[in-house]
Structure 1
Amino acid sequence: MSHATGTEVTGRAGDRSGDHHGHARQEAIYRPGAFGRKPAVPTDFTDLERAAIRRMSKRAVAYLAGGAGNSATVDNNRRALDRWAIVPRMLRDTSQRSLRTELFGRVLPAPVLVAPVGAGALVHRKADVHIGAAAAALGIPYIFSNQGSAPMEQTAAEMDRVAAKNGGVSAPRWFQLYYSTDEALVYSLIGRAEAIGAEALVVTLDTTQLGWRPQDLNIGSLPFSQAVGIDQYTSDPRFAEMVDEHLAAAKRSGERPKTEVTLGGLRTLLAMSRNMPGKFLRNLVSPIPRAAVETFLATYSRPSLNWQDVTALRTRTKLPILVKGIQHPDDARKAVDLGIDGIVVSNHGGRQVDGGIGAADALVDVVGAVGDRTKIVFDSGIRGGADIFKALSLGADAVAIGRPHMYGLALAGRRGVQEVLENFVAELDLTLGLSGFNSPAELSPEALQRIR
């Protein structure tokens, strides 16, 4: 499978992308280190996660770091990658390395994307704006979350501002779609994504209902119930109509909402009022925030979602359509046969089904089934550049980074996200060179050995 092109592109301003990211990043850390300055975020995942967990609230840790059930799938993701060992080759000229990669007509500085993570405001207010800005600074695509904590228009505008400041570096973005029960809302979201320049549509298939997440359940925390992570909805004209319809129906029924006055209930009311658009005090006395949350919870997921629903989107958009959550080779074949443009092999970071297949094991099966017929993006379990090397060797065209960039956000905001991304790309570059390769296009399973 071909990963890269020979076209020169530019990444960060003043930096030739693909030209020894690793050395440049090392130098950017070691030079300040000589004066006693340390990087904003740890450069290894273990310390990164540990530091971020100390910094985040209990609700943020539960939502972000937690897995489904006993987190067996989270563990399986790690084991699946650890089953493969890199076998470095010696005495090969790797002085002309390039990470440049083409996806859907766009040449990227590296085969890396920033994965969508919902309810980011648990970690940092307007999280999506800062994540998008960090991605734009590097020319790496950001997959906007449907459950984002800022309207997509705000994030896109900040990405464009950063790109212009960096000398016109492109700020590619995709959009992740959760298929609502209201099709008019689905089409409204897609239209907005097209309007802000999204270059692909990623339809998430594995979250038609929430998995059993004990870390959230044990503290009774559902971010969306406090209007955290519903900004794409509350900024949408169709959703505003749905809220009005909800309020009108409630008025016709004559039923008054039952309210239990507790300290927790007061906190939820304050959170909803703060997280909704408009002025806080006005929201505090308005029925709209509560109605918006209730409308969202009633309509955001679609358990009946099927292949016909997804393929029907082709009549609504010209964007490339990828399906996210594919883990079985038969589902991969079905997607390709139906004309879907790409596959994201993912188990939602182990947050939906406990005891599920490790994502890298699923990747091997999916590549075996359709690897020469479609583009494949991989996520779930990536903890560093060496893991990206393994996923590319196993046949992925690109890799999406999830939890790690959120940990960077928790520790140092926008700068933390950017440093995490820079570290991952740098380690990938060094691993590539030290293993005897000059580009992702050269990678294949022969670069690895299965050890378990």
Structure 2
Amino acid sequence: MTDSDRFGDDRVNDIYRRGMLDNETTDFPVSYEDLRNAAHAAMSDEGRAYVHGGAGSDETFERNQDFSPWRIVPRMLRGVESRDLSTEIAGVDFDVPIALTPLGVQSLLHEAAEIGTAKGAAEMDVPLVLSSLSTEPMEDVAEALGDTPKMFQFYWSSDDAIAKSFLDRAEAAGYDAIVVTVDAPILGWRERLIERGYYPFLEGEGVGNYFSDPEFRAQLEQPPEEDPSAAVEHFLDIFGDSSLTWEDLQFVHDNTDLPVLIKGVLDPRDARKAIQHGADGVGVSTHGGRQVDGSISAIEALPAVAEEVDGEVPITFDSGVRRASDAFKAIGLGADAVLLGRPYAYSLAVDGADGVETYLRNFVAEFDLTMGLSGCRNVDEITGDTLRHESELH
């Protein structure tokens, strides 16, 4: 990313110099709202339906974005000329407490798909969690990321041989951890997709890891290149397993030496279960509001989960983060790292790898400035003391 401990200062000064001295301004949208609108204009109807919105009436999707009940209380004269944004998640070093959440089928957003996202993330050394449902195979994405920290999100196949093959491949490709998604054993009721009768996997989108998998291919009569329809049908047969229980996590531990994080926890009792079954990290998430309409939002769930975990393992957080102040609040409420979702998807749609890099450059700069202006010199100083809930203000 940069060796500067004043990244935000350097970023805004560079923007102002370019604007005032060189008459050079950016065409890339700065606000989230403008970014979303530009992306929607660039995307197909199917792409918009897949990425935008959530389950049912969008109640959870909308509530996820409401961080306003928590207010930042800045502290003054704290000597914030040098700021350290680094953190560590399950033994993996992060330059910033930010990563990109797993988001499948990125070929719907831009022709560069996950390779474009990986290249943009690598320019900023921001970790990427790659979805099992990527259009590009995990090995190709790992190569594009280079030395940038990387994790592989694991959707559990009902076929153990394929599940084991995915874990083996992720470890061999150099991924630093496995992220097991537990909140999607079946898919939620997504009205935009149902209205269109659209499921991208039936078109062969988002199945790169399956079609390239040796065990998956061995189970086909003909390779996917020769009979894609049969390959898609086999994918539909083996994708997901709603019979899983906490005890089944032992399978993952038995088949990888990598740290294992559990993503999709909203109840502190499930956080405790995850730790009891060997989790090296807990991810608070509503799957972007795409699974259960009317559920508790991720930010509402975070404080109780953080209280239960109490530092035993790191906590990641996603769902609803749109601005750096949202990420700051999530860390103040107990998260160790924040995963970004739709905003980086939209940046890919707008300008490919360059869009992802520009978006991350702006987001990290805003986070750095928010941290410094709030009186925090490092991520560890972002605690509950930096926030007040609105109920405390009246």
Q: 1:53 aligns with which of 40, 48, 73?
A: 40
* Structure 1 residue 105: Cα displacement: 2.5
Counterparts of 2:345 and 2:15 in 1: how far apart (Å)?
Answer: 21
1:232 aligned partner:
209
Q: 2:328 aligns with which of 382, 389, 393?
A: 389
What secondary structure is seen at the aligned counterpart in 1 of 2:24?
coil
Q: 1:346 aligns with which of 285, 288, 296?
A: 285
What secondary structure is seen at the aligned counterpart in 2 of 1:218?
helix
What secondary structure is seen at the aligned counterpart in 1 of 2:65?
helix
Call closer, same or farther: CA 1:59–1:437 in 2, change over 3 Å.
Answer: same
What secondary structure is seen at the aligned counterpart in 2 of 1:243?
coil
1:436 aligned partner:
375
Task: Indicate whether 1:66 and 2:43 are aligned.
Answer: no
What secondary structure is seen at the aligned counterpart in 1 of 2:251?
helix
Contact 1:208 1:302 in 2 (8 A): yes
Give runs of aligned pairs for residues 1-400 of structure 1, distance below 5 A: 12=1, 15-16=2-3, 19-34=5-20, 35-79=22-66, 81-160=67-146, 170-244=147-221, 286=226, 288-400=227-339
1:165 aligned partner:
none
Contact 2:316 2:338 in 1 (8 A): yes
Call closer, same or farther: CA 1:240–1:40 in 2, change over 3 Å.
Answer: farther
- Alignment length (residue pairs): 390
Letter in 1 for 2:93: V
Unaligned stretches of 5+ residues in structure 2: none
* Structure 1 residue 27: Cα displacement: 2.9
Letter in 2 for 1:30: Y
Counterparts of 2:10 and 2:349 in 1: how far apart (Å)?
Answer: 25
Counterparts of 1:40 and 1:16 in 2: how far apart (Å)?
Answer: 27
Counterparts of 1:336 and 1:115 in 2: how far apart (Å)?
Answer: 21
Contact 1:90 1:435 in 2 (8 A): yes
Larger radius of gyration: 1
Tell me which moved more, 86-95 or 37-46.
37-46
Identity of matched residues, %: 42
Call closer, same or farther: CA 1:40–1:105 in 2, change over 3 Å.
Answer: farther
* Structure 1 residue 364: Cα displacement: 0.8
Contact 2:247 2:277 in 1 (8 A): no
What secondary structure is seen at the aligned counterpart in 1 of 2:71?
strand
What secondary structure is seen at the aligned counterpart in 2 of 1:66?
coil
Q: 2:345 aligns with which of 402, 406, 411?
A: 406
* Structure 1 residue 137: Cα displacement: 1.5
Counterparts of 2:53 and 2:130 in 1: how far apart (Å)?
Answer: 21
Counterparts of 1:150 and 1:192 in 2: how far apart (Å)?
Answer: 14
Letter in 1 for 2:350: L
Counterparts of 1:357 and 1:76 in 2: how far apart (Å)?
Answer: 8
What secondary structure is seen at the aligned counterpart in 2 of 1:176?
strand
* Structure 1 residue 277: Cα displacement: 6.9
Contact 1:125 1:149 in 2 (8 A): no
2:384 aligned partner:
445
Counterparts of 2:229 and 2:27 in 1: how far apart (Å)?
Answer: 38
RMSD between aligned alpha carbons?
1.5
Contact 2:224 2:230 in 1 (8 A): no
TM-score of the two chains, using structure 1 as the length reference: 0.84
Contact 2:249 2:277 in 1 (8 A): no
1:419 aligned partner:
358
* Structure 1 residue 117: Cα displacement: 0.3
Counterparts of 1:201 and 1:186 in 2: how far apart (Å)?
Answer: 12
* Structure 1 residue 36: Cα displacement: 3.9
Contact 1:40 1:411 in 2 (8 A): no
* Structure 1 residue 40: Cα displacement: 4.6
Counterparts of 2:29 and 2:203 in 1: how far apart (Å)?
Answer: 32
What secondary structure is seen at the aligned counterpart in 2 of 1:203?
strand
* Structure 1 residue 208: Cα displacement: 0.8
Contact 1:40 1:416 in 2 (8 A): no
Unaligned stretches of 5+ residues in structure 1: 1-11, 161-169, 248-275, 279-285
1:268 aligned partner:
none
Letter in 2 for 1:412: D
What secondary structure is seen at the aligned counterpart in 2 of 1:377?
strand
Contact 1:76 1:356 in 2 (8 A): no
Counterparts of 1:33 and 1:428 in 2: how far apart (Å)?
Answer: 22
